[in-house]
Amino acid sequence: MIPSWFAHLPAPPVRSPVLLERLAWPDAESTLQDVLLLPVGAMEQHGPHLPLNTDTVIAQSTCHLASALTGAPVLPALGYSVSLGHTVKWPGTFSLFHETLMLTVREIAQWAAASGWKRLLIVNSHYGNDAALRCAVDRLRHDLGDSLLTATRNTWNLTEEIAGRFTHDAADWHANEAETSLMLFLDPSSVVQERISTADDPDRTAGCVFPHRVAHTSLNGVTGRPSLGAAEQGALLISQMGEALAALIEKARVEHPPLSWAP
């Protein structure tokens, strides 16, 4: 199944993504030697103009494009994660605690390893998940050793150029130009476009010592300038993100520990 937005990319891929949930088990078995992708998003407020599943759409779309470019299999996205910092000021945020996400990812990874996959790449699009996912990977590295090589990467900094696209209008960005552009391209019907022009809210975190919750740093849940967003910019950005992830997959397919060691 080819996502409709593929056709509007600067260089559309020639094949569909490999969605594990749509495969019968013999076909899933044929992917065991490849890198398994786990997209992780969030269910949280994204300002007055973007849908609650913005991070999930971005994580999933990045993985789907990379899968179409490489043939790597993609698990269904995790849509609930660590959104504690967004508080309940703006309805629609549903958060897990860090330890819940860590345990969930670890259990998914353990099933992957038991089934025969050897490599798992967690692809995250929500900043609040970063610490929990890195801790989960560290625990999996201890628990599973070389039987399942596991890593986590964030979609917003797959390359320096991509990172610059996300931070140009706010260092502590959220629902900003980059995310707005991506959603205008990936799922424009979910964006309340008449609210974009008045949604800008500046980054108030410069110089802060403590990591304040979003309700203390933003008036409307936005940090950045969504008014600068455009679908054309989103098409270029998701292309860069998918291609960068595809390059990472190619490296992960052949990587082994630099030294051998058995406890």
SS (H, E, C) 227-248: HHCCHHHHHHHHHHHHHHHHHH
Residue 8: inside a domain: no
Do residues 186 and 62 make contact, with C-beta atoms less than 8 angstroms apart? no
Among 198, 195, 194, 155, residue whose Cα is nearest residue 178: 155
Residue 72: inside a domain: yes
The structure tokens listed for 129 are 């998940």
Question: C-alpha 13: how far from its chain's center?
Answer: 20
Residue 261 in this model has a pLDDT that exceeds 90: no
Residue 164: inside a domain: yes
Among 102, 18, 16, 68, residue whose Cα is nearest residue 241: 68
Residue 186: inside a domain: no
Residue 198 in this model has a pLDDT that exceeds 90: yes
pLDDT score for 92: 98
Query: Which one-letter DSSP state was computed for residue 182?
Result: H
CATH number at residue 157: 3.40.50.10310
What's the structural domain count of the chain? 1
Do residues 248 and 223 make contact, with C-beta atoms less than 8 angstroms apart? no
Residue 65: inside a domain: yes
State the CB neighbour count (10 A cutoff) for residue 42.
30
Tell me the C-alpha distance between 208 and 44, whole Å: 24
Residue 90: inside a domain: yes
Query: Which one-letter DSSP state was computed for residue 92?
Result: T
For 64-89, the pLDDT digits (tens) are: 999 999 999 999 999 999 999 999 99
For 1-16, the pLDDT digits (tens) are: 789 999 999 999 999 9
At residue 173's C-alpha, the angle toward residues 167 and 179, to 5°, is: 85
Percent of the chain with pLDDT over 70: 100
What H or E segment, with its residue span, contains residue 123?
A: strand 119-124
- Residue 33 structural domain: 16-169+238-254
pLDDT score for 263: 78
Residue 67: inside a domain: yes
Q: Give the pLDDT band of residue 237 (cuts 50, 70, 90).
A: very high
The structure tokens listed for 103 are 């345990």
Between 145 and 116, residue with greater pLDDT:
116
State the CB neighbour count (10 A cutoff) for residue 32.
14
At residue 142's C-alpha, the angle toward residues 111 and 156, to 5°, is: 75
At residue 252's C-alpha, the angle toward residues 8 and 136, to 5°, is: 100
For 111-129, the pLDDT digits (tens) are: 999 999 999 999 999 999 9
Residue 231: inside a domain: no
- Maximum CA pair distance of the chain? 60
